[in-house]
């Protein structure tokens, strides 16, 4: 086969988005240019890589195999760039970071301070949900990821660097706002604005309720913490969120933290990368900065009934 790196780059984007239009937008190309590169690649391969069913395109068996190899080739090229960057030192280079949406409130502060110290490093930040973070880690697409505890079965290096307490929030005029030591069972009849299936916050809350023989009540399912806070503030129900996302709302009194038995749920933030990944000087410097100094740049609002805990590392 006579393939070009340009063809593989275009193919990988189309395969990832399953859309010529989105791939064209990502690569800053016209849609006809993307279609031409895919057509030339299919001619070189001698097999169709995509098939169209209705208005959607899907990878063929050959396309799935090619996508796997194109991801490996891209990873090797990225590793080669990291090796060259290592020879240059941390004065430059690129850093690709992905963070969970809940972590965005403090991750931008960390990156701001890091960028002051390493002004020559170019930073790419992706704020996304847990499902996408796990996919990115599996495909080795990012240098480092900041998220809640990842699944143990994945081949990852995960290091805890900061506490991540989950609390129950309510509008200040809610009947439960003045109560203390609220039994968990008393929340079953309440409406909740809750994160989507697959969210680490939701999974932790479901485990707590299940341990007491209860089901986590759900009223509205939302894909962002901002939406949950706004829903709770509007009086649409209670919410469960990381204290890290509530700094402004708790300080201004727009929301209150309920004193519920079993809460806060003590969790931790982790900085994660693939096992065996060779970190560039920029990525190594950021990892060390997060592990050693994150607590100095992140303000943790006081949490009612919060137990003292130290971050564990593994």
3-state secondary structure the chain: CCCCHHHHHHHHHHHHHCCHHHHHHHHCCCHHHHHHHHHHHHHHHCCCCEEEECCEEEECHHHHHHHHHHHHHHHHHHHHHHHHHHHHCCCCCEEEEEEEHHHHHHHHHHHHHHHHHCCCCEEEEEEECHHHHHHHHHCCCCCEEEECCCCCCCCEEEEEEEECCEEEEECCCCCCCCCCCECHHHHCCCCEEEECCCCHHHHHHHHHHHHCCCCCCCCEEECCHHHHHHHHHCCCCEEEEEHHHCHHHHHHCCCEECCECCCCECCEEEEEEECCCCCCHHHHHHHHHHHHHHHHHCCCCCCCCCCCCCCCCC
pLDDT confidence bin for 295, thresholds 50/70/90: confident
* Burial (0-12, 13-18, 19+ Cβ within 10 Å), 225: buried
Residues 167 and 241: their CA atoms lie apart, in Å, by 6
Nearest to 229 by CA among 207, 255, 262: 255
For residue 119, name the pLDDT band (cuts at 50, 70, 90): confident
Distance (Å, rounded) from C-alpha 118 to C-alpha 85? 14
Q: Which residue has the tokens 């901002």?
A: 226
Specify the fold of 166-257: D-Maltodextrin-Binding Protein; domain 2 (3.40.190)
Strand partners, 126: 98
pLDDT tens string 192-226: 998 888 788 888 999 999 999 999 888 888 888 88
On whether the CB atoms of residues 272 and 98 are closer than 8 A, the answer is no
Better-scored residue on pLDDT, 46 or 301: 46
Tokens coding 57: 């395109």
HSE (CB half, 13 Å, CA atoms) of 153?
A: 0
Please state, rounded to an integer, the average pLDDT across all residues of the chain.
87
**pLDDT at residue 173 is higher than 70:** yes
Buried/exposed code over 99-108 (b: 16+ C-beta within 10 A; e: otherwise): bbbbbbbbbe
Provide the token pair at 131: 């499902």
**Predicted confidence (pLDDT) per residue in 17-63, tens digit:** 999 999 999 999 999 999 999 999 999 999 999 998 888 999 999 99
Q: Tokens 């003292």 sit at which residue? A: 308
Q: Which of 267, 237, 232 is nearest to 250 (CA)?
A: 232
Q: Give the tens place of pLDDT for each residue, 229-270.
A: 999 999 999 999 988 888 889 889 999 999 999 999 988 999
pLDDT digits (tens, 9 = 90+) for 51-97: 988 889 999 999 999 999 998 888 888 777 766 666 555 566 789 99
In this model, does residue 307 exceed pLDDT 80? Answer: no
User: 90-163+268-297 and 166-257: same fold?
Assistant: yes
Does domain 90-163+268-297 bear CATH number 3.40.190.10?
yes
Q: Which fold has domain 5-71?
A: Arc Repressor Mutant, subunit A (1.10.10)
In the chain the first and final C-alpha atoms are separated, in Å, by 44
Domain spans of the chain, in order of start: 5-71, 90-163+268-297, 166-257
Cα–Cα distance for residue pair 257/230, rounded to 1 Å: 15
Q: Is the pTM of this model over 0.75?
A: no
């Amino acid at each position: 086969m006579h393939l070009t790196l340009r063809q593989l780059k275009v193919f990988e984007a189309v395969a990832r988005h399953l859309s010529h239009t989105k791939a064209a937008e990502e690569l800053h190309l016209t849609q006809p240019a993307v279609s031409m590169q895919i057509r030339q690649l299919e001619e070189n391969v001698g097999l169709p890589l995509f098939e169209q069913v209705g208005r959607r395109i899907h990878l063929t068996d050959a396309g799935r195999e090619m996508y796997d190899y194109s991801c490996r080739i891209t990873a090797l090229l990225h590793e080669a760039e990291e090796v060259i960057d290592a020879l240059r030192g941390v004065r430059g280079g690129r850093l690709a970071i992905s963070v969970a949406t809940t972590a965005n409130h403090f991750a931008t502060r960390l990156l701001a301070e890091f960028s002051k110290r390493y002004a020559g490093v170019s930073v790419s930040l992706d704020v996304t949900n847990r499902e996408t973070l796990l996919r990115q880690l599996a495909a080795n697409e990012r240098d480092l990821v900041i998220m809640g505890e990842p699944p143990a079965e994945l081949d990852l290096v995960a290091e805890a660097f900061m506490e991540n307490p989950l609390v129950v929030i309510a509008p200040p005029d809610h009947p439960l706002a003045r109560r203390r030591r609220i039994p968990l069972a008393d929340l079953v009849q309440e409406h909740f604005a809750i994160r989507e299936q697959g969210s680490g916050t939701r999974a932790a809350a479901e485990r707590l309720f299940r341990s007491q023989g209860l089901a986590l009540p759900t009223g509205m399912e939302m894909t962002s913490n901002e939406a949950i806070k706004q829903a709770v503030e509007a009086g649409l129900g209670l919410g469960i969120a990381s204290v890290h996302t509530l700094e402004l709302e708790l300080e201004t009194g727009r929301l209150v933290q309920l004193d519920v038995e079993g809460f806060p749920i003590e969790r931790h933030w982790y900085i994660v990368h693939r096992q065996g990944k060779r970190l560039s000087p920029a990525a190594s410097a950021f990892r060390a900065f997060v592990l050693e100094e994150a607590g100095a740049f992140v303000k943790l609002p006081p949490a009612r009934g919060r137990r003292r805990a130290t971050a564990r590392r593994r």
